[in-house]
Amino acid sequence: MKLYASNTSPFVRKVRVLIWEAGLQDRVQQLLVTGSPLDPVSLPIAENPLGKIPTLVLEGGRAIHDSRVICHYLASLAWPEAYPEGPRLWRTMTLEALADGILEAALLIVYENRLRPAGQRSSPWIAGQWAKVARALDALEKDWAGDLAQPVCMGQLALGVALGYLDFRHSERDWRAGHPQLADWYTKIARRPALLATVPFDARNLPGDHSPGRTLLQA
Ligand SMILES: N[C@@H](CCC(=O)N[C@@H](CS)C(=O)NCC(=O)O)C(=O)O
């Protein structure tokens, strides 16, 4: 299988974490691409008309997307417990959806700040996106501790990726303030080998990488 990926995309990171946890490293070849809604550059538009990553090309040649579909598919191959059966399934999938919602809002803020000219940026719109993140963090602190303490499955892994993305792109907002239980939980999950092995990094921090457009467009 072939995964269209980048080293900064948090949605790709979800899939990378699942691959690691499921022991599928040898079955998935990763192809690094770049692009944005303004310019798809090398994003897989032929395989995914939305031009988004992650996109996974299966062994027969058909492609599947998005991260939730890919994670579910890969889990079905090698780690079914990632989506536990019974009533926990709906909590797991809701937690993953909540984590994805945090990511969507956080990514939209990044795009707004990077891709729009300064005069066209909307502060109220950015504030509205961050309000979604803040409400989700409050709900996680208040209502989700029991679920976070369950055996690790895709819900907690997706949340670990989402909180890691807030550190990566929005560290100045200090998501830990007012969320001590969540911060404590994150410290522990961030030590899992799958999360350690997939920490995002910017090409601009790598000596010798001067590919044009790369730093500007990465999520
Ligand atoms: N809902 C999608 C979101 C994927 C997504 O937004 N990926 C970003 C990179 S983090 C992307 O491909 N952006 C390019 C674009 O939107 O054109 C998923 O879960 O996979």
Mutation to probe ligand 1, out of 4, 11, 56 (largest number of atoms < 8 A from CB): 11
The whole-number pLDDT of residue 217 equals 60
The whole-number pLDDT of residue 218 equals 77
Q: What is the model's pTM?
A: 0.95
- Cβ of residue 47 lying under 6 Å from some atom of ligand 1: no
Asked whether the beta carbons of 153 and 83 are under 8 A apart, the reply is yes
Q: What does DSSP assign to residue 211?
A: -
Ligand 1: centre distance to CA 54 (Å) = 7
| Nearest of 10, 157, 161, 188 to residue 72 by alpha carbon | 157
The whole-number pLDDT of residue 204 equals 61
Asked whether the beta carbons of 40 and 118 are under 8 A apart, the reply is no
CA-closest residue to ligand 1 atom 11: 52
The whole-number pLDDT of residue 85 equals 96
At position 206, the amino acid (one-letter code) is: L
Ligand 1: centre distance to CA 51 (Å) = 8
Asked whether the beta carbons of 51 and 25 are under 8 A apart, the reply is no
pLDDT per residue as tens digits for the range 130-147: 999 999 999 999 999 999
The whole-number pLDDT of residue 149 equals 98
Domains, the chain, ordered by start: 2-81+199-217 (3.40.30.10), 84-196 (1.20.1050.10)
The whole-number pLDDT of residue 213 equals 45
- Cβ of residue 219 lying under 6 Å from some atom of ligand 1: yes
Q: What contacts 81, CB < 8 A, 6 or more positions away?
A: 151, 153
User: Alpha-carbon distance 14 to 173, whole Å?
Assistant: 22
CA-closest residue to ligand 1 atom 16: 37
**Which portions of the chain are predicted below pLDDT 70?**
204-217
pLDDT per residue as tens digits for the range 32-66: 999 999 999 999 999 999 999 999 999 999 999 99
The whole-number pLDDT of residue 210 equals 44
The whole-number pLDDT of residue 203 equals 73
